[in-house]
Amino acid sequence: MIKKLCLLLALISNIAFAADTIVINANVITVDKDHPIAQAFAFDNGRFTAVGTNAEILKLKGPETKVIDLKGMTVTPGFNDAHLHPQAIFAEGTPHYRVWLGADRVKTMDELVAALKRQAAVTPPGAMISGYGYDDVLLGRHPNRHDLDKVSTTQPVVITHGSGHITAVNSFVLEASSVTKDTQDPSGGALDRDADGTPNGVIRESARGLIRRGTGGANREAIPLDEELKGYMNCFRQYSAKGITSVGIAGGSPSSFQIMQQLRDRGNPVRVGFMFSADSFDKLQGAGIKRGFGDDHLRITALKTYQGNSLSGRTAWLSEAYSDRPDYFGIPPARTQEKLDEDYQKWWDAGWQVATHSNGDREIDMVLTAIERAEAKNPRPDARWRIEHASVMNQALLDRAKKDGVILVFHSYMWEYGDILLSYGPKRLSMMHAYRTAIDMGIPVAGHSDSPISAADPLLRIQDMVTRTSNQGSLIGEAQRVSVDEAIKVWTLDGAYATFEEDTKGSITPGKLADFVVLQKDPHQVAPNKIKDIPLEATYLGGQKVYTAPLKTVAMIPPPPINYGDGNYGDGDEEENQNVPN
């Protein structure tokens, strides 16, 4: 009904008034099932007003109409990264820089230590030296305190695994945190240890909460607010340069929401859907803040919570043992089923959409059970519960997700992590990030990068969904491959559905926000393994060009480790996964 009304209003408007701007000679992938392909479109006051052929849209040209001739280039709706973690980006060689330790920069333990030493040389005494993105498979093992003590023994050294769920620290941090041989593993976490039982500095999942004292704010160099805002704006501009027009921030605090408000007022080129950490629930209730508060540029969308561990970090809790470790099932979540049920019922009864990080099939089973119990006590239509990542699935779990109306916000990072995930075995890989099966079943899905866990690069993520191929050439779970059109829809309209915004964005449809991307090539017309290489010509937000391709390629600065500002050296979804239950 809303779409028909918008179309009617657009037709009436077009009869009476010339368009403000028209785009012609384009290959328009609209993601509108009623009009999937077009040559041209018009927009005015930040919204699309008409879509059609060149001849139809040129009829709307008036004396003041701006005409954009794309000369055959391809247009899609702006991309929507449904779950990521933006952070302030600072230049290498400055005190606030977080050292990128990814496989493209660091391939040996000596190289890792050398990179951190270079940062130590520009880090003030007492301030933290940190890095992120290391690959333990490439390095042969996780870096430990013995390695990091070579960087410094007089100030904190903290680095994060590529999964975001495992942290390595030096002896200084362990001592400052009073973590000793006698420290017990907390529920939901683990400390790796030397042969004599002394923690070796490799800290997994909720155990990261034990090092807060040694990595607290007193040890950090304070960042002036204006500089921090500029760093965040660098991050959002990089998103825009990849065609992202909307993001979902997966877990934030009142203070980080205020940062987003200031960025909005400074002209953030990306729309933000803000998921508050569930730890903020009481504050939100006390202030009378509900889901949907905000505007088209910054809106509160959900509560973000956590039930489970890491897929690429191999801590996800599984019903069957890891293929290469027959006695290992991962790390169980810290929260019991009873506590999960209690929390869900409280948030559900208060009217919130709930988005839950969960990877392993045993974790997902707990989440679905809590959803079903909350629904049974208080039925509510169109709830759109979300499971973030939902990695290790099986048919029974998918059947329940379908019945419960759950949105599955799957990963698509086989490019970066496919070879690491081989340890899950063929059976699980065949249903991992099960886009094909879920779409065929009619289960709502959405796409995300979880940046910086994987690159916030929609074309790479779309290629990943289409090919399911790692950067080493391994084919991972090929039965879950999807078409180019399906992948684009997941990264546009389906992302809007996940935040109840499918009527306002996500497709090139009259009445919707004029967010769109111009690509120099059609993703249908290039080899599937070249989709990631398609040059992006421009990004438009509300009809305003917010990114134009430079004449020469500009290197992107990798984003820093997640939750750098909140003292959470891990997945970054929120601090609660590090909290040890009472």
pLDDT one-digit tens code per residue, 540-573: 999 999 999 886 544 444 554 433 333 332 333 4
For residue 94, give both structure tokens.
């400055």
pLDDT one-digit tens code per residue, 351-399: 999 999 999 999 999 999 999 999 999 999 998 999 999 999 999 999 9
Which DSSP helix (H) or strand (E) runs through 306? strand 298-306
DSSP-derived pairing of the beta strands 407-410 and 129-134: unpaired
pLDDT at 13: 44
227: three-class secondary structure by DSSP: helix
CA angle, residues 129, 309, 406, in degrees to nearest 5: 130
Give, rounded to a whole angstrom, the gap between the first and last alpha carbons of the chain: 51
pLDDT at 563: 37
The per-residue pLDDT of the chain, averaged, comes to: 90
Q: 488: Cβ–Cβ under 8 A, 6 or more apart, which residues?
A: 29, 31, 76, 462, 523
Please state, in angstroms and as integers, the Cα–Cα distance from residue 279 to each residue in 4, 140, 276, 303, 573, following that order: 41, 37, 8, 9, 11
C-alpha to C-alpha distance for 431 and 427, rounded to whole angstroms:
7
> What's the whole-number mean pLDDT along residues 481-491?
98
Q: Residue 301 half-sphere exposure, CB side, CA atoms within 13 Å?
A: 30
pLDDT at 221: 54
18: three-class secondary structure by DSSP: coil
pLDDT one-digit tens code per residue, 322-344: 998 999 999 999 899 999 999 99
> What's the whole-number mean pLDDT along residues 410-416?
94
pLDDT one-digit tens code per residue, 264-317: 999 999 999 999 999 999 999 999 999 999 999 999 999 999 999 889 888 899
> What's the whole-number mean pLDDT along residues 459-470?
98
Which residues are paired to 199 by β-bridges? 193
pLDDT one-digit tens code per residue, 188-206: 889 999 999 999 999 998 8
Please state, in angstroms and as integers, the Cα–Cα distance from residue 270 to each residue in 73, 203, 234, following that order: 23, 34, 12
pLDDT above 90 covers a percentage of the chain that reads 77
> What's the whole-number mean pLDDT along residues 344-351?
96
C-alpha to C-alpha distance for 565 and 96, rounded to whole angstroms:
11
> What's the whole-number mean pLDDT along residues 466-482?
96
pTM, entire model:
0.83
pLDDT at 11: 46
pLDDT at 35: 95
pLDDT at 570: 33
pLDDT above 70 covers a percentage of the chain that reads 90
DSSP 392: B
Q: In the structure, what pLDDT confidence band is assigned to residue 581 with cuts at 50, 70 and 90?
A: very low
Domains of the chain: residue spans and CATH:
1-72 (2.30.40.10), 99-210 (3.10.310.70), 225-546 (3.20.20.140)
Q: How buried is 109 (Cβ within 10 angstroms: 0-12 exposed, 13-18 middle, 19+ buried)? A: middle
